[in-house]
Structures are given as C-alpha cells and as structure tokens.
Structure 1
Amino acid sequence: MKLVNYYKTFLNNFKQKIIPLVYQNDLKKLGLFYETKWGEEQGDHMYVQHYEKHFYSIRRKNLKILEIGIGGYDNPNEGGNSLKLWKTYFPNSRIYGVDVVDKKALEEDRIQIFQGSQNDEYFLKKVIEEIGELDIIIDDGSHVNEHVITSFKTLFSSLKDGGIYIVEDTHTSYWPSLFGERWSTFGNKNVYLENLAKVGGSLDLNDPKTSMNFFKRLIDGLNHEEFLFPGYIPSYFDKHIVSMHFYHNLIIMYKGNNIEGSNILENNTLRPYILEELGVKSLDDLGLDFASVSDQYIRYRL
C-alpha cells in the first residue's frame, strides 16, 4: 500500500510539473489544467480567446502582473489557480495577487500575495508603493460595482505606458443587489449567492453607478480632443486611455498617450481657418448653447 501511495504521489507531482511546461504556449489547455472557468461548459467564461489575442505577443517579456481576487473564498489554503496559470504562461514575469482573505499560504516562486480590500484606496496605493509600476492588471475580485470602479480609479495610473487593464465579469452591472435586506431571511445560503446579493448593479441600463456605465463614459474620452466645448479640461483617463475593447463580460483597456490631435478643433474650440470658412469671427457668432451641456462635460472630467 505504501508503494502504491508513493507512486500515486510521484505521478501527481510529475503531472503538476510537466503538463504546464508542455502546454505553456496554449492558454486554453492551461486553463483546463488549472481548472479556471475558461472552458466551453455552460456557465464558463469564454475569455481565453481574447486573452490569447492580447497577451500572446508579450508573454515572454519581463512583466509585472497584478490580479485582484485569488479564489477559494474564506479558505486561506484554497484558490490561486489563475495566479499559477499566469506564472506558467508568462515564464519571465512576476505575478502579484490581492484578496480580502489572507492567502499568503499560496505564495511561491514569482508569486507574491497581499491581503486587503480592492475597495480600499489606501491599501491599493501601499501595494503599488511596494511593487512599483505594473504592466497588466486583472480585476477578477468581488465584482461589486463600487469596488470595480474604486480599483480602476486607484490603480490605472500605476500602469506603465502600453500597459493593459482588464475587468472581468461585468455582467454584475446588470444585476441589482438581489434580495436586498431580505437576504438574512433566506435559508440554504451559500457564499456565491450571498455575493450576488451585494453586487450593486441595476436594471437601469443608464444607471451611472454601475461599472459598465462608468466604463462606457470613458469611451467618449478617447475622442476628448473632438469635444466642441471651449475650456474643457481633459481628465487623466481622457489623456491616457488609448483603446478600449469590450467583449461579453470582459473589458480590456490600454494605457498610453492619447494626444493625436484634431484637424478641426484646437483646445476644444474651432480652429481659426474653420471659423473663417464659416464666415464668422468667433464661436459665439454660431449661437451654440454650451450652457445646456456644461454639466455633461464637467462629468467627463471626473
């Protein structure tokens, strides 16, 4: 019996070390091996093809990658599969994880873990102070809309130019906090459903408090130099988000310098030659009602 157990242990250890090396170029197979939810079964997240598209060309670079959410819920010894996946797929990179539960037991070579809330700006800033600028940030944390927005506002500036910020599971934007205060009266509760009761989404597709509407507003910022609104002051996101890719339940954003300029506007007002072509001396002569949209443009500065 001891010999049988020895061989079982040996084969399991061999499998854990060899199979990732064999599949290290195939993100889909790595996802299956590490049992991340990227498969083809009902309920799985079909993110793998998008990650391969955006990651494959940079996978051998020396990167710093931070993932929010480690998995395993309240068990300090469970979770961490996606951290191991990224460690394997990015063989020259250092992987960092953040979770509200102490997951330090899951640390290993090239994987470092911090305990704290993704909704705590002070904690997130302390993490960045310790590890420095990042190349990739993946938010697979609580999926609570407020938390997603707080994390993005706090962490996006810590990306290097060319860096990538990712938000997973954006479907929670469309789910109101199920049951509300009545949750405590329900029986047969489990952690997953309890989390759904707190996500803070909305049935209103235009609710400004949801993460999807927050990110949808940033799309206009890609074209901030085309805003015909004299005196507009571009936000940090206006100036540094250079592309946004929206997929089913997934957003992938790139950081850079969004300063291409406009051939019609300068400083958010019409260029002199355009005014001349229109036969007017100033923008005021066009009778445009900027006051009616001033609140809207101020909102984009936030």
Structure 2
Amino acid sequence: MTMQGQPPDLGALADRYGSDKGYRNRDAHGYTAVYDLLLAHRRAEPLNFLEIGLLVGGPEATGGSARRETVDAPSVRMWLDYLPNAQVFGFDISDFSAVSLERFTFVQGDMGDPVDLARLRGACPEGFDVVVDDGSHASWHQQTAFIELFPALVPGGTYVIEDLHWQPEQIENLRQVPKTVELFSRYLLDGRFAETGDIPEERYLEVASQIAGVTFVNEAGLSTGPAKMVIIRKKAAGELLPSRSYHRSRVLQRLGNAEEATRWARIAEAEDPSHFDAAHEHARARFSVEGSSPAVVDLARGLVARFPDRDRGMVLAAWIFSRRPEHLAEAVALQRRAVERAPGVAGYRVTLAHLLRRSGEHDMARSVLEETVQLFADNDLARQRLAELSQGSTA
C-alpha cells in the first residue's frame, strides 16, 4: 500500500514485481494503462480474477520447458496488491504450487486441452469476473481457451487476450487456425466466427451469442498499427448492445480508414440513438477526421447532455472542447465531473491538471497533482507533471 493507505499504482506494481505488463521489465508492454482503465473503478470489489500464463520461459520460449523452475509469479503478486479483495486464480502448464500466497489459487494444466480447462472452470464454479490470457500466445491455444472459458465469465465479465502480435512458431504450427487478430476482426465485420480452420465453426456458436463487444488495443495505444490486445466483453443481463455498424466503425478506425469509420459511426448512432457506445464512437470518429469543428463540439455537448453519468463521455467532450480556447473553461468543468465520477482513475486527475495549467490556473493544477501523488504515490506521470510545473514556476 502507498502512503495514507491509498491503493498503489498498477504500472508501478508491475515494475516492482518484475512483470512485463508495466514499463521497465523485459518487453515493457505498458498493458497496465489499459487494465487500469478497465479495473480502477472495480478494484475494491471481491472479483474472481484469472490469469493464464504466470511466468515467461515456458514451452513457448525457444528452449523453454514445462519443467522449468517456478519460484515466483510476478503478475499474480501485482494483481493481489492492486485488487485487495479479489480471489486470484492462476493457470499454467508448469507447476506453480510452491507459490503460496493468500487469496491465490493455482491450477496446473494445458490451455490447449479442453479437459484441463474444464477442471479450471471447476475451481471457480461461481464464474470469473476477469480472464487474462497471457499464456503460450499460440493462436489455437488462445482460441481453445476462449471457447472453453468465455462461458465461465459472469454476465458483464471481461476477457483479455494479450500479445496478438507474436506467436511461438513451434506451437503455432501444430494446428491450422487463423491468427487470433484475424479471427476477431472477421467477427467484427461479419457478426460471426468464420473460416476457423481446425476448430469447427459450431464450437463458436455459444460464445458468439454471449459477446457484448470486442475492442482491439494497438501498439502504444495508437489508433492504427499492429493490434497487441483484444478485449471481449460478455453481455450483462438485459444489456442493450451496439449494432453491427458500430463494430464496422471500430474495425475501420483500427485499419486507418478514418473517413469510412466515421460514416459507419454516424449510421450506428442513427440506428440506436439511446446507446452510449454508438454515440461515443460517432463523436470520437468525427473528431479524428474534423478536429474540434463546430459540428463536433455540438456533437460532444449533446453526448454529455444525453448521457450525463458516463465519465468516458465527459472525458471525450472535455478533450474536444479543450482544442478550442473559447471552450477551455467548459473542458475543465467536464474533466472535474469525470474525476468526481471516477475518483480511482489517476489519469483523469492528471488530465484535469493539464487543462487547468492551460487555463492559467497553475496553483490549482499544482494542487490537483499534489493530491494525485498523495493518493497514487507510485504514479510516475503525476510526479513528472508536478516536477515540470514546479520547474516552470521557478524559471
């Protein structure tokens, strides 16, 4: 825990324990920024959290073996600290039974074996809230695990597959299936899983009926480039889902066709004006093409008016408004509301300080950053921004 008993920053935890999901170890993927957005508002909940793949160097690595020495599980320690009330489950082909930690349950097995995956489901009969696949990265392993474990998610649960950009050749070629990024891209475009290779299409029928949304995360969070993660969300009970046009817009945006993505986003919102995701995507896509044009400003203002309790809408609108000096005060007010709505997201606070600084409110910006550092003592970005502000005031 950090000072005054506040919860620690996820990126700092990854760096401390040696996980490559942070910013300093091995490939330093920076995935913790994505997980913080997904989980910051839920970190106090009693979640059932599953991670597949607990340490680098298994059979997926050149010369790696399932009989490797397993003395620690870095990301498990990270999750246990970040989610203090969660039960964390780990699954790996290697034996991690010697890693004895409170609130941690280990199940040994092969993620390509449905029998082992069924045994894993049995370890948490009430269902998982979050599943993170950081296992072998072989496409057929990822897809077999997804088919078996997605039904074990609770309604509204989240399933994440990491490292879509790399597959271990010695395992990848054992089965003929499409790359996982291609499989989910086709699902977004066509609304079904097709051309699935050695895994029959009918195996996907159950999971396809339960999917609420699919989101790709690209290199360094860019809107284009190689996809590194895919986030699949399960339907919540009675949930209103976005249309196929919405999914087409997301795929086209990822492929770099911003104008066509905007066209489909406009169609998606027209099809269902009451759906927040469709309205948010329309405003975001228009902004990527037109910038903060008067029409986009009006669209953002309407988004907040129609969905006044959605912090993501406030943050998008604040960013759009901030690009026009005459709307900067409105941007600051919206960002404040987002912080009040989601106080556990440190990034919202850092953005608020940035907007305050642009508004000339340097003392207020400093106060926000000081509070952020106090609440999230391991947040390097807040510390950096505070140092920059202090240097500027003494220059």
- TM-score bracket, normalised by the shorter chain, equals 0.5 to 0.7
For the structure 1 residues 76 and 27, does the alpha-carbon distance in structure 2 shift closer, same or farther, using more than 3 Å as the test? same
List, as ranges, runs of 4+ consecutive aligned residues in structure 1 with deviation greater than 6 Å.
19-23
Output the amino acid matched with 1:209.
P
For the structure 1 residues 20 and 65, does the alpha-carbon distance in structure 2 shift closer, same or farther, using more than 3 Å as the test? farther
For residue 197 of structure 1, the aligned residue among 164, 169, 181 is: 169
1:243 and 1:255 in contact (8 A); partners too: yes
Output the CA distance in 2 between the equivalents of 1:20 and 1:115: 37
| Number of residue equivalences | 211
Output the amino acid matched with 1:128.
R
Aligned pair 1:107/2:134, yes or no?
no
For the structure 1 residues 163 and 21, does the alpha-carbon distance in structure 2 shift closer, same or farther, using more than 3 Å as the test? farther
1:23 and 1:30 in contact (8 A); partners too: no
Higher helix share: 2
* Corresponding residue for residue 213 of structure 1: 182
* Corresponding residue for residue 137 of structure 1: 131
* Corresponding residue for residue 151 of structure 1: 145
Q: How large is the Cα RMSD of the aligned pairs?
A: 3.0
For residue 255 of structure 1, the aligned residue among 234, 242, 258 is: 234
For residue 57 of structure 1, the aligned residue among 32, 37, 41 is: 41
1:140 and 1:169 in contact (8 A); partners too: yes
Output the TM-score relative to the length of structure 2. Answer: 0.48
Deviation per residue, 1:70-106 (Å, 9 max, x gap) = 1154434333110111111111110000010111001
2:48 and 2:130 in contact (8 A); partners too: yes
Unaligned runs of 5+ in 2: 58-66, 194-201, 219-227, 244-395
Output the CA distance in 1 between the equivalents of 2:105 and 2:49: 10
Output the CA distance in 1 between the equivalents of 2:185 and 2:99: 36
Name the SS for the 1:143 alignment partner. Answer: coil
1:250, CA displacement in angstroms? 0.9
1:172 and 1:199 in contact (8 A); partners too: no
* Corresponding residue for residue 239 of structure 1: 209
1:109, CA displacement in angstroms? 0.8
Deviation per residue, 1:208-263 (Å, 9 max, x gap) = 52111122222246599xxxxxxxx993333211111211211111101576597x
Trace 1:39-118 onto structure 2 (pairs within 5 A).
Answer: 39=23, 43-71=27-55, 73=57, 74-118=67-111
Output the TM-score relative to the length of structure 1. Answer: 0.62
2:15 and 2:25 in contact (8 A); partners too: no
Output the CA distance in 2 between the equivalents of 1:45 and 1:200: 22
Output the CA distance in 1 between the equivalents of 2:71 and 2:25: 23
Among the aligned pairs, what percent are the same residue?
Answer: 25
Higher strand share: 1
* Corresponding residue for residue 181 of structure 1: none
Output the CA distance in 2 between the equivalents of 1:28 and 1:146: 30
2:70 and 2:94 in contact (8 A); partners too: no
Unaligned runs of 5+ in 1: 1-17, 174-195, 202-206, 225-232, 263-302
Output the CA distance in 2 between the equivalents of 1:116 and 1:142: 12
For residue 164 of structure 2, the aligned residue among 153, 156, 170 is: 170
Aligned pair 1:161/2:155, yes or no?
yes
Query: Relative to structure 2, which stretch is displaced further, 164-173 or 211-220?
Result: 211-220
For the structure 1 residues 20 and 165, does the alpha-carbon distance in structure 2 shift closer, same or farther, using more than 3 Å as the test? farther
For the structure 1 residues 222 and 21, does the alpha-carbon distance in structure 2 shift closer, same or farther, using more than 3 Å as the test? farther
- Radius of gyration: which is bigger? 1
Output the CA distance in 1 between the equivalents of 2:45 and 2:11: 20
Name the SS for the 1:160 alignment partner. Answer: strand
Output the amino acid matched with 1:156.
F
Name the SS for the 1:97 alignment partner. Answer: strand
Output the amino acid matched with 2:23.
G
Query: Relative to structure 2, which stretch is displaced further, 92-101 or 72-81?
Result: 72-81
1:117, CA displacement in angstroms? 0.4
